Amino acid sequence: MNPTRLLYRGSEWNFDLIRRLHDAIEEVALDELGLDVYHNQMEVITSEQMLDAYAAIGMPLMYRHWSFGKKFAREELLYRKGAQSLAYELVINSDPCVSYIMEENTATMQALVIAHAAFGHNHFFKNNQLFRQWTRADRVLDELTYAKNYLAECEQRYGIEAVESLLDSAHALMSQGVDRYAPRRQSLAAQEQKAKARRDHFEANYNDLWRTVPSARNASDSESVRESNQKTQIERAALDLPRENLLGFLAQHALKLKDWQREVLEIVRRLAQYFYPQRQTKLMNEGCATFTHYEIMNRMYDRGQIDEGAMLEFLHMHSAVVTQPPFDSQAYSGINPYALGFAMMRDIQRICDAPDDEDHQWFPEFAGNGDAMTTLRNAWAEFRDESFVLQFLSPRLIREMRLFLVGNRAESRFVTVDAIHDDSGYRDIRRQLASQYDLSNQEPDIEVTDCDLKGSRRLVLTHRVRNGKLLNKEECNRTLRHVANLWGYRVKMLETDVDTGITLDEFDAVPMP
């Protein structure tokens, strides 16, 4: 090892070292790994500021709401008690990509963070198609500044309480505030245009003379009934039912909302939409970042840029991050996305470089292609967690992690082991694990299905029940009340089984006076 190439010794860091680390890491990341990143911005913060950032769902700028205060109070207590350590880093999907690093970190931790966040996550944000399609990295910070100022202004103008209760309602519907399939904006504009065209047509064909023609009373009645029916139909068509984006629907169509309230709902909806790709790619994103920092640190060690002490410190931290406790351990809290993500990336690398027969059989497209980085970069760009697992989880990894599939029926006194890591089980385990990452499977499928525009103006929501997974009743009633408050009239929720079409349960809520 050539000591003159060493970037640092010991644990002290300074701003100059951060710059040198960044440049050295950049060289490896761009030239050797072929990553493609937004411009980087590193911000040094204290642990207290990290707690602040946590509490504001990881965003550097956030409007005020009591729930963030609650989160802060909770995080702070856990942190003080030592029950929870702080993450070493926090990274924001923005352009330039902002990474927070803590002043308490050692030099090695800073190197790890830069490799992990400023290159791993950064590359993922910039290249993954979900982020490309749904988020505008260059606008995020502006949007957040706008939201923060707008809400502060609303608080001044309409009172903290009014804004708070509106945000409460909007937050309750955040997971029903995303468009899952296609960007809705264009289609909304198209909708409006259509509605306008229809209106124009009516206006053009309206002949006032007809009004003066005497006719039988009955006839005129049925005429006006038909006319109003037609009107209702047009209005209904403009609602574009069924709609799955409940929050968006309310922002556009709730009759009693003031303009500022609509804008607040829109702000929350955009926030929900901004986070939606992150929720769908947690496994891949962390896997990508963890793999990246692992590769970079190892390559820097090979180049003689970091010494053995630093490498040991790094490996210690790295293995803590990628630990997967077994299901029957006290420490088990679900499948660790860092562990599984990292293992899958390494596995893909292995399959590309040194496949065995099983790999050739399972992954004929890329086994032994000898170009792991290209394969990985393609995977990072094109997949989301669900499809990634479905495509890339190998039998070997299933064996290594000793994954098994358990079935649980509410009415049974037993859970059953439906598949284990053997030939007959691989595909079932893979399919099920993939569906666990499919948010549309994990979250209730709720749609706005009907809306009585003529009479009571009651709104009807439908929960499409799969596998008998009903809503939590108490939470449903409470959430439905929020919907009613926003809608302004009575709201009904039907729980309908997808397969049989039978309505299993029904909820009803009226707005608070």
Partner 1 sequence: MHVIDRRRNPKSKSLGNRQRFLRRMKSHIREAVNQSLRSRKIADLEGSQEVSIRSKDLREPSFHHDAGAGHRDYVLPGNQEYQQGDRIAKPDTSGGRGSKGSPDGDGEDHFSFVLTRDEFLNLFFEDLELPNLAKKKLKSMTSPARVRAGYSKEGAPQRMNLRQTMRRSLSRRIALGRPSKSEMAELEALLHKAELEADDAEVKRITSLLHSKRIRLQRVPYLDTVDLRYRQFESVPRPTTQAVMFCLMDTSASMTEELKDLAKRFYMLLHLFLNRHYGAVELVFIRHTYTASEVDEDTFFHGRETGGTIVSSAFEEMLKVIRDRYPVEDWNIYAAQVSDGHNFDYDMPHTLELLEQHVLPLCQYYAYIEVGDEIFPGSSILWEGYTPLTERHKNFARAEVIEASEIFPVFHDLFGHATLRG
The only residue of 11, 27, 30, 49 in contact with partner 1, by rule CB under 8 A: 49
Q: Compute the chain's Rg from CA coordinates.
A: 28
83 touches partner 1 (CB under 8 A): no
The reply on whether position 58 binds partner 1 by CB under 8 A is no
User: What is the footprint of partner 1 within residues 96-155 (CB under 8 A)?
Assistant: 96, 100, 103
Q: Is residue 419 a contact point for partner 1 (CB under 8 A)? A: yes
For partner 1, the closer of residues 328 and 365 by Cβ is 328
- C-alpha–C-alpha distance, residues 72 and 70, integer Å: 5
- Residues 153-182 touching partner 1, rule: CB under 8 A, are 160, 164, 168, 171-176
Shortest Å, Cβ 294 to partner 1: 20
Least separation in angstroms between CB 134 and partner 1: 21
Nearest alpha-carbon partner for 288 in 7, 17, 37: 37
Q: Which of 7, 8, 22, 292 binds partner 1 (CB under 8 A)?
A: 22
Identify residues 349-408 at the interface with partner 1 (CB under 8 A): 401-408
Nearer to partner 1 among residue 74 and residue 196 (C-beta): 74
Question: Contacting partner 1 (CB under 8 A), which of 205, 259, 414, 502?
Answer: 414
Complex with partner 1: residue 79 or 260, whichever CB lies closer: 79
Stretch that binds partner 1, among 74-82, 205-213, 233-241, 282-290 (CB under 8 A): 74-82
Rule CB under 8 A: say whether 444 interacts with partner 1.
yes
CB 121 within 8 A of CB 289: yes
Q: How far is the CB of 370 from partner 1 (least distance, A)?
A: 30
Phi-psi region of 150 (alpha: psi -120 to 50; beta: other; left: phi over 0): alpha
> What sections of 98-216 are H helices per DSSP?
107-113, 122-127, 129-134, 140-158, 160-172, 184-205, 209-212
- The answer to whether the CB of 87 falls within 8 A of the CB of 50 is yes
In order of 3, 130, 197, 204, 205, the CA distances from 200 in angstroms are: 79, 38, 5, 6, 9
Looking at residues 322 to 351 of the shown chain, list those that interact with partner 1 (rule: CB under 8 A).
324-329, 332, 335
SS3 for 172?
A: helix
**Per this entry, what is the length of the chain?**
513
Nearer Cβ to partner 1 (103/153): 103
Site for partner 1 in 208-247 (CB under 8 A): none
Q: Is the N-terminal amide bond of 214 cis, ω within 30° of 0? A: no
Please, is 246 exposed, middle or buried when counting C-beta atoms within 10 Å of its C-beta (0-12, 13-18, 19+)? buried
300 lies in the site for partner 1, by CB under 8 A: no
DSSP assignment of 430-457 = HHHHHHHT-HHHHS--EEEEEE-TTTT-
The reply on whether position 420 binds partner 1 by CB under 8 A is yes
Contact residues for 73 (Cβ-Cβ < 8 A; gap 6+): none
Strands 459-465 and 503-509: unpaired
Stretch in the footprint of partner 1 (CB under 8 A) among 226-234, 253-261, 355-363, 475-483: 475-483
The letter for the amino acid at 299 is R
User: Looking at 136-144, 236-244, 289-297, 439-447, which segment touches partner 1 (CB under 8 A)?
Assistant: 439-447
Closest distance of CB 178 from partner 1, Å: 13
Residue 424 within binding range of partner 1, rule CB under 8 A: yes
Residues contacting partner 1: total by CB under 8 A? 98
319 is an interface residue for partner 1 by CB under 8 A: no
